Structure 1
Amino acid sequence: NWFLHTTEYHFGEASLIHSASEVPRVHADKLVLVRAINHLLHGPVKDNLLFLAAEDTSHPMHQEVPFDAKATVLHPMVVEPYNDNELRTIINYYLKSGPYRKHYI
């Protein structure tokens, strides 16, 4: 299972989410991401974005994985479900090679 954290992100001013209490938490079997993800991956970031922090809680031994601000990714606000492999690919892109990684690493 994936947990979705959201808060607002405006005008290129990045701020890390430091604790789960700072943002709402919504449970989803598959993390709900954005339909316009390709625009973000291949073009400039829009003014009005969601600041998303995703964490993998799929291990059966864990009821919940502690919130990790380093798993933060940026997305526009139109939503569409992605499967786990797509989600991992997107998160890895941001954490390891994304142009905005300086905001949250």
Structure 2
Amino acid sequence: MILTQPTAADFETLLEGRTYPFFEDEDATWVIGLGHQDRAEFARAVNDFDTVAAGAPEDSQYTEMDVEWRYAVVYGGDEDTYVLLYHEDHVPIVASDPHSVPITLVSR
């Protein structure tokens, strides 16, 4: 089901008592948050998340240059949120696409 008005809660991750404003996809290739968030703050949060989750601060070196602002179509169910970044023809989702929402992401 398409979430036409997703909320920040649809994207949050709770880890060791802290709430992060994003989720990591199941392959850990993307970290995705709702809205166009401050790039420097988003990078800091991803670094903190990686350090807490993996205990590897040397792998947590993201900067605002690694953060992208994009658009996506969001699908959700009872527990999971899925984000579609591209159309079937591999063309990126853009602001003018039906049901698109702004997102912030880091590609790993």
Q: What TM-score results when the alignment is normalised by the length of structure 1?
A: 0.26
In our comparison, the structure showing a higher alpha carbon Rg is 2
